[in-house]
Amino acid sequence: MTTYTAINLIARPSAGPVGPDLFEVVQKDMPSVGEGQFLVKQNHMSLDPAMFGWMSPDTESYIPPVELGTVMRSSGVGEIVESNHPDFNVGDRVMGMMGWQEYFLSDGTGLNKVTAPLPDEAILSVFALPGLTATQGLYSIGKPQQGETLVVSGAAGSVGSIVGQLAKADGLTVVGVVGSDEKADWIVNELGFDGAVNYKTDDLSAKLAQLTPNGIDVYFENTGGPIQHHVFERMNAHGRIAVCGLIADYPKAEPDLAPNWIPIIKKRLTIQGFTMPDHFDKIPALLEKLTPYVMKGQIKHRAHVLNGLESAMTGLNLFFTGKNKGKLIVKL
């Protein structure tokens, strides 16, 4: 019988990098396609910072942890190679949560057809989780207004880069926080950001003061770390902070202390954490909001592609080192 490769999660991560010891590469029998089902050959798979939370044993998080001994969770894009489903045909391209595996058997639940005439890498970089997350957080929590100032951390990443470009298109002053001069150059000279802060080399307080002379109205938080304290100090009255991720704290046994709460009262700040699983019902509306920006050429992206399913096991550590350039994707 024909088999395919899958990767199971077999251990929970501790502080520090993740590696192959957390996973098991297995061969699975190719499934039979029943009535109302179809089989997808996954071609590209997304790696996301949220995976660190999915691997943890935390049962109080926004989504249940991946059960040990089961396929590691992830989203991807693939092509239907066999179908007994009336609404999904052989040759259709679909995207959704399919996990770390070469093939995925589905009844259609949680999968959506890909109709945009774009490569898989572009779909995963813009129209999948990154674009949806950026659009939901920016507009539902950030509530950007023309003429305001927005700061986004992780600005060269898949979510942060889209947040900044949407805000620029809406007439805001946009400053991005990044971890290298190359990334700073990319977001300013390629994406059109007004300025960049290199958190590894710049005097954070002085650089933010220079780039945000009128204070900060919206902060889109993707990373945590020391920069959040400096941004917090420069927030304007009635400012909004969307907390999307804290990648700097994920590998630490004890997270860094958060900013003092007193300015929340003094400045009447709105601070809200969010995760996309709460908003999957809004995906059609979010795509309707995002698509015109893309069609007008206002959203650029770049992808960092790893080759081979097994590269995912160590590829996740690029989020900690900051060496990934753009959306992190595995090509199967």
Overall pTM > 0.95: no
Question: Residue 120: in which H helix or E strand, if any?
Answer: helix 120-122
Q: Print pLDDT tens along the chain (332 aa).
A: 599 999 999 999 887 678 899 999 999 999 999 999 999 999 999 998 889 889 988 777 778 899 999 999 999 999 999 999 999 999 999 999 999 999 999 999 989 898 888 899 999 999 888 999 999 999 999 999 999 999 999 999 999 999 999 999 999 999 999 999 999 999 999 999 999 999 999 999 999 999 999 999 999 999 988 899 999 999 999 999 999 988 877 767 677 888 889 999 999 999 999 998 888 889 889 989 999 999 899 999 999 999 999 999 999 888 887 777 788 999 99
- How far, in Å, are 138, 212, 235, 305, 330 from residue 165 at the CA level? 11, 17, 21, 22, 25
Sketch out the chain's domains with CATH numbers.
3-115+302-331 (3.90.180.10), 129-278+288-292 (3.40.50.720)
**Residue 305 DSSP SS3:** strand
Question: Which strands sit side by side in the sheet containing 195-198, from one edge to the other?
Answer: 195-198, 173-178, 149-153, 216-221, 235-243, 270-273
